[in-house]
Amino acid sequence: MLQQTPVARVEPVWRAWLTRWPAPADLAGARPAEVLRAWDRLGYPRRALRLQECAQVITAEHDGVVPDTEAGLLALPGIGRYTAAAVAAFAYGRSAVVLDTNVRRVLARALDGRALPPPTLGRAERERAASHLPADPATSVRWNVGLMELGALVCTARSPRCTQCPLREQCAWLRAGRPADEHAARRRTQAWHGTDRQVRGRIMAHLRAHPPEEWAATAELLAAGADGADPGALPDPGQPTRALASLVADGLVSAGTGVQAGWYRLP
């Protein structure tokens, strides 16, 4: 849930989620439609399906116990380098480099004197971070937590609170006068209005509003933007159909067959 989503927005959904599905086996047996509805508006709904797949693999192949090694975690669906390291370190106390956006930024500033880390995370950056990880596992966990929290609360991307920073005396970026981001030109903020992502989001919101067993919408309605808009007025009339097809391909939407052909609902 925390992948690309702020903690404050995750917390209430997470609490309700664990009340409803306390263990992997509970989530594994849920209906995907209910999982997607419980995910609500956290965004990137494919994460919800992968989390359930993850629970199913853990239930079927790991006796219901979350793997306790980075390699074991990394093999699970929806678990990448970051999440594998975070769970290994924070849940199991193992030594791992938890390189999230916050830690990358703190290291880029403190060690390299740069405003922000490079757009893509490469091997060199990972290995350099690993070289700074304390050898003792318990200490390494504190190192990860400390840098992550520092990045989230003090060394923030937009308005860092340098006067309150415990690293202010040793920060290369602050010492250099907080120079601007040299990669600014290459960072392209993702468009939103009028994109397929926005249309996909609207379709999912529409389907979430209906009971899971109900065939909730026709292709025609969804082609109208799931809210009754005039398709002819859209800049790209083919976009809703394309977005719907991509949702079906992703397993986020179920397409009816037979007498239900042309109707859609959550899977």
Partner DNA sequence: AACCCGGGGGC
Partner DNA sequence: GCCCCAGGGTT
The yes or no reply on residue 83 touching DNA (CB under 7 A) is: yes
CB of 206 to DNA, least distance (A): 10
Window 174-233: residues binding DNA (CB under 7 A): 187, 189-190, 192, 195-198, 200-202, 204-205
- Using rule CB under 7 A, residue 148 touches DNA: yes
What whole-number distance in Å separates Cα of residue 150 and Cα of residue 156? 8
Look up residue 41 and give its two tokens: 């508006």
Residue 150 CB, nearest distance to DNA (Å)?
A: 11
Task: State yes or no: residue 55 binds DNA (CB under 7 A).
Answer: no
- Our finding on whether 157 is near DNA (CB under 7 A) is yes
Query: What are residue 217's phi and psi, to 5 degrees?
Result: -155, 150
User: Does 81 participate in binding DNA (rule CB under 7 A)?
Assistant: yes
C-alpha span between 184 and 188 (Å, rounded): 8
Work out which of 105, 109, 114, 265 binds DNA, going by CB under 7 A.
Answer: 105
Run of H or E residues at 98: none
What are the residues facing 217 on neighbouring strands? 264
Q: Tokens representing 130?
A: 């690993």
Output the smallest distance, CB 140 to DNA, in A: 14
Cα–Cα distances in Å, from 186 out to 123, 182, 183, 247? 20, 9, 5, 30
Name the one residue in this structure whose structure tokens are 């309605």: 221
Q: How many helices (H) and strands (E) does the chain have?
A: 13, 3
In the three-class reduction of DSSP (H, G, I as helix; E, B as strand; rest coil), residue 130 is classed as helix
- 7 makes contact with DNA (CB under 7 A): yes
Among the candidate windows 106-114, 146-154, 231-239, 257-265, which touches DNA by CB under 7 A?
146-154
158 interacts with DNA by CB under 7 A = yes
**What values do phi and psi take at 261, rounded to 5?**
-55, 135
Alpha-carbon torsion, ordered 217, 220, 223, 224, to 10 deg: -90
Stretch that binds DNA, among 78-86, 164-172, 212-220, 227-235 (CB under 7 A): 78-86
**126 sits near DNA (criterion: CB under 7 A):** no
According to the binding rule CB under 7 A, does residue 65 interact with DNA? Answer: no
Q: Interface residues with DNA (CB under 7 A)?
A: 2-10, 41-46, 50, 77-84, 86, 100-102, 105, 116, 119-120, 122, 145, 148, 151-152, 156-159, 187, 189-190, 192, 195-198, 200-202, 204-205, 246
